[in-house]
Structure 1
Amino acid sequence: MSVPLQILAMGKYLPPRQVSAAELEARLNLSHGWIEAKNGVSVRHYVDGESNSDLGAKALQRALDKAGLAYEELDLLINASGSYDYPIPETSALIQDKMGQGNSGMPSFTVDATCLSFVTALDVAGAFIASGRYRTIAIVSSEVASKSLNPAEKESATLLGDGAAAAIVRRAPEGSPSALLSSVMETYGSGAMYTHVKGGGNVCHPRDAGVRDSDFTFHMDGPAVLGSAFRRLRPFVKKLFGPLDFSLQEVDLFVPHQASKVALEKAQRFFRLRDEQFANYLAQHGNCIAASIPMALHDAIEAGRIQRGGRICLLGTAAGLSVGGAVLIY
């Protein structure tokens, strides 16, 4: 069902500290050029004393400034992230407080679908807008991956970065073409442990016997994720575009999860998409988990790659294993 949802404005924030491929290669004892050849990331950003909520608040303020809105004009704040400051309290409350609005009473909560959190939150926001419950919603995706990297797994340790993006979405004004046309998510729990951070919950608690430091670092079986995802993508895209009168190949902008060099190159070939349609910003950011899709969308908008009335497809995979996507008129 089409929802009159409009992305009014977006903001992005990257921690000031830049970590080059050469710096990581020296640190991890890798040959010169290995990182860019293997995963295509030239530079990524790491926090230095900043938290998820710090990054998120800064991205949100930039989005509000672009929208010409004050925080008080929002109806709802959704934190859409896969990493967090603390298990409790959840991060949206911390973002609210760091915006100077800790006594506002504005509803705030977290949607965590790991790398698909932004796409999932967009669907949730669309449902709220369609119901009339809320009109103007902030979605913030803020990720700190650098603290959970496993140096023993060179591919992921050199792939991930930190960053945040925020979107202000609202009920589209009368006469605007902006809309959320379709949104689909599928989860296949048989692949749940392909990607995981084992520690931090009650299955692998810090007080449990035999718990190791490495249990609190990121692990990904890249080939298993890639193989499982691509086996499901063709029928998934058919379902996503089923209600629409145009195909994926006819969108103006395709924004995939910035998963890896291999995944992005394979996706572009698989879907037969032209360079001008395909948003690939992996080299500048690395994989920033849930912030990857909104950061890439932000950069494409800033570069003038999409205009009002243009067609956008957001598509990605996440730990779960989940596949998710949304089609919008910008």
Structure 2
Amino acid sequence: MGARHIKITGTGRYLPGTGIAAEEIDRRIGAEPGWVMRKTSVANRHFAGEETASEMGANAAREALERAGLTFGDIDCLVCASGTMQQPIPCTAALIQRALGEEESGVPCFDINSTCLSFVTALDTLSYLIDAGRYRRILIVSSEIASKGLNWSDKESAALFGDGAAAAVVERSADGEVSRLLHARMTTHSAGARHSEIRGGGSGLPAPGYSEETAADYLFSMDGEAIFRQASRLLPDFMRELLGGAGLSMNDFNLVVPHQGSVMAMRLLQRKLGISEEQMLYVAPDYGNVIAASIPLGLDKAVREGRLNRGDRVLLVGTSAGLSLGGAVLIY
């Protein structure tokens, strides 16, 4: 399959609250002042209060539509691409449709979940549907509330995460327009499935099994070192295939928007892949790890700051629970 003729025509975001500084997280986890910054480089993050994931997603969606110069009536499909869900049933996309006040619209809604890579997976999957003419315009929304599932006794992971939502309107690019998705790739290596997980809440450890003794099974658990080692081994070959499929080298990109799981992961990416400081877009220092919303938050930030313009080559890349590696090469 060659390039897919799609373009992102509008992006939006929603960040709950006013932000929580690293010093406040130091206090919450009982660490000495400066520990969170030293370990994570996350200076600020946002935590949801009363907002639901669907309300956050609806706010980001409204902004994306407004910046694309469209209304919900112009959308043919709404997809929630997130690693966390508001409730097991129905899909979060349906709840976002309702939060937008469009519950009678009939617009199809479904979720795509590959944890931190959900936005990239959705963009890749849906690009075929747009390119083939199945849908004209799709709204992809990533809305994540990580804070509700953090294990505060696990300082390393609790210090990393933030809540937030981001959305993008994606449509077919017209003949003669440069915008397209050149190539995308994903691999999963489930030897690392236990490295990042929430064991409880599904059919394996259903909700009635919850007790004080089993509480940790229902909270997020991560072995950052194990993820780092596995990703470190797999990334070089993965990137050769991804960039080779697009016929590009790292130097050809105007911008690289990585999923920013941790400062360790960022340094690994930069060092192993030869990404320059000028190319790299940092999101984690301001928002933390916002799971699947991290990459679209980065895209939105780049567009707002004028770092991403039509015709620019952009690389979206990252790892996710599974362990999966994924990336997409776009001409914006």
Letter in 2 for 1:135: R
SS in 1 for 2:245: coil
- 1:249-286 residue CA offsets vs partner (Å, 9 max, x unmatched): 32110010011111112211211121110011211000
Corresponding residue of 2:19: 18
CA contact (8 A) 2:53 2:86 kept: yes
State the match for 1:103 in structure 2: 104
Aligned mates of 1:117, 1:215 — CA distance in 2: 23
1:266 aligns to what? 268
Stretch of structure 1 that moved more, 12-21 or 111-120? 12-21
Q: Which aligned pairs between 1:1-330 and structure 2 lie closer than 5 A?
A: 1-208=2-209, 212-330=214-332
Contact 2:250 2:274 in 1 (8 A): no
Distance 2:83 2:222 in 1: 15
Secondary structure at 1:16's aligned position in 2? Answer: coil
Q: Distance in 2 between matches of 1:237 and 1:260?
A: 19
Structure 1 segments unaligned to the other structure (5+ residues): none
Q: CA deviation at 1:206?
A: 2.5
Shift of 1:168: 0.3
Does the aligned pair in 2 maintain the 1:75–1:136 contact within 8 Å?
yes
Question: TM-score with structure 1 length normalisation?
Answer: 0.98
- Cα distance in 2 for partners of 1:126, 1:248 equals 23
2:164 & 2:280 partners in 1: Cα distance? 21
What amino acid sits opposite 1:241 in the alignment?
L
Q: Does the residue aligned with 2:165 lie in a helix, a strand or coil?
A: strand
Q: More displaced, 265-274 or 204-213?
A: 204-213
User: Percent of counterpart pairs with the same letter?
Assistant: 44
The question of whether the paired residues in 1 share the 8 Å contact of 2:246 and 2:329 is answered with no
| RMSD of aligned alpha carbons | 1.1
Q: Give the TM-score of the pair, scaled to structure 2.
A: 0.97
Give the counterpart letter for 1:263 in structure 2. Answer: A
Instruction: Compute the displacement of 1:300 (Å).
Output: 1.2
Q: Deviations over 1:24-73 (max 9, x none)?
A: 11121111111011000011000011111011000000000101100010
Contact 1:17–1:47 at 8 Å: present in 2 too?
A: no
**CA–CA separation in structure 1 for the residues paired with 2:210 and 2:315:** 46
Residue identity in the other structure for 2:155: K
Letter matched to residue 234 of structure 1: P
CA distance in 2, matches of 1:242, 1:226: 24
Which residue identity does 1:317 align to in structure 2? T
Query: Match of 1:106, as an amino acid?
Result: V
**Cα distance, 1:132 vs. partner?**
1.1
Distance 1:209 1:175 in 2: 57
Q: Secondary structure of 2:330's match?
A: strand
**Partner Cα separation in structure 2 for residue 271 and residue 243 of structure 1:** 16
Shift of residue 245, structure 1, vs aligned partner: 3.0
Counterpart-to-counterpart distance in 2, 1:272 and 1:84: 35
User: Does the 8 Å CA contact 1:92/1:110 hold for their aligned counterparts?
Assistant: yes
How far apart in 1 are the matches of 2:308 and 2:28?
39
Contact 1:165–1:295 at 8 Å: present in 2 too?
A: yes
Cα offsets for 1:182-222 (capped at 9, x unmatched):
01010111111110011110111122376622211110010
CA-CA distance at 1:177 after TM superposition? 0.2
Moved over 6 A (4+): none
- TM-superposed CA distance for 1:243, in Å, is 2.8
Deviations 1:123-175 (A, max 9, x none): 11111012110111110000000001111110110100000000001000221
The whole-number CA distance in structure 1 between the counterparts of 2:306 and 2:222 is: 34
